Chain A
Amino acid sequence: MHETALVSGIMKIAFEQLENHRLNRLVAIKLKVGEFSGAFPDALRFAFEAMVAETEHSGARLEIEEIPGRGLCRFCQAEFSYTPGMECPSCGGLAPKLVQGEEMLLESIEAE
Chain B
Amino acid sequence: MEIKVVANVLKANEDMAVVNREILSRRGIRVVNMISSPGAGKTTILERTVEALKNEIPMAVIEGDLMTTRDAERINRHGVPVVQINTQGGCHLDANMVNKAMLELPLDEIKLLIIENVGNLVCPASFDLGEDAKVVVLSVPEGDDKPLKYPQVFSKAGICLLNKIDYLPHSNFNLKQFYQDAAALNPEQKVFEVSALREDGMQNWYNYLRELVRKNRFGL
B155 CB-CB contact with A under 8 Å: yes
Given contacts A1-B123, A85-B151, A94 and B9 within 8 Å (CB-CB):
no
- Interface magnitude class on chain B: 20 to 34
Chain B residue contacts of A111, Cβ below 8 A? 1, 3
In this complex, what residue of A is CB-closest to B126?
A38
- Give complex CA distance A41, B152 in Å: 17
A66 CB-CB contact with B under 8 Å: no
A104 CB-CB contact with B under 8 Å: yes
- Assess the B1–A110 pair: CB atoms within 8 A: yes
A-B contact count (CB 8 A): 91
- Assess the A9–B152 pair: CB atoms within 8 A: no
Chain A residue contacts of B19, Cβ below 8 A? none
Given contacts A2-B91, A10-B9, A87-B184, A108 and B126 within 8 Å (CB-CB):
no
Taken residue by residue from 1 to 16, chain A's Cβ proximity to chain B (1 for < 8 Å, 0 otherwise) reads as 1100110011011100
- Assess the B3–A95 pair: CB atoms within 8 A: no
- Assess the A98–B155 pair: CB atoms within 8 A: yes
Which 10 pairs across A and B sit closest by C-beta, in order of nearness? A84-B151, A38-B126, A1-B91, A104-B9, A95-B187, A85-B184, A85-B148, A2-B123, A106-B7, A108-B4
Q: Would you mind naming 26 contact pairs between A and B with Cβ atoms under 8 Å apart? A: A1-B91, A1-B120, A1-B122, A2-B91, A2-B126, A13-B5, A13-B9, A17-B5, A21-B1, A23-B1, A37-B126, A38-B123, A38-B125, A38-B126, A86-B184, A95-B186, A95-B187, A103-B8, A104-B8, A105-B6, A106-B6, A107-B4, A107-B6, A108-B5, A109-B2, A110-B2
